[in-house]
Amino acid sequence: MHGWRSQVRDRDPATFREHVLGRVAWAGSVDPVLGARLRDLAARRLGRPRDGMIAGVPLLTSER
């Protein structure tokens, strides 16, 4: 089974979420449509933040 825990490898598990969200933010700066999809996927896989924002951008879904 491959989950996010197996993808941490040599990184600190405590910072993995921030690492992923940074990559999502970069992708969103290049392609806003892709960024929106990735933010939604990250929210579902990594858990929704309390403020409804991922990488400083509001989630598109109505689930908060």
Say whether pLDDT at 26 is over 80: yes
Q: How far apart are CA 36 and CA 23, in angstroms?
A: 12
C-alpha–C-alpha distance, residues 27 and 10, integer Å:
23
Task: Give yes or no for a contact between 60 and 35, defined as CB atoms under 8 angstroms apart.
Answer: no
The predicted structure's pLDDT at residue 17 = 79
pTM of the model: 0.59
Per-residue pLDDT at 55 exceeds 50: yes
Q: Rounded to whole angstroms, how far apart are CA atoms 41 and 44?
A: 5
* Percent of the chain whose pLDDT exceeds 70: 52
Show the tokens assigned to 64: 């908060």
What letters, b where the CB count within 10 A reaches 16 and e where it falls short, cover 6-26? eeeeeeeeeebbeebbeebbe
- Give the pLDDT band of residue 30 (cuts 50, 70, 90): very high
Q: What residue ranges do the domains of the chain occupy?
A: 15-58
Residue 27: predicted pLDDT: 94
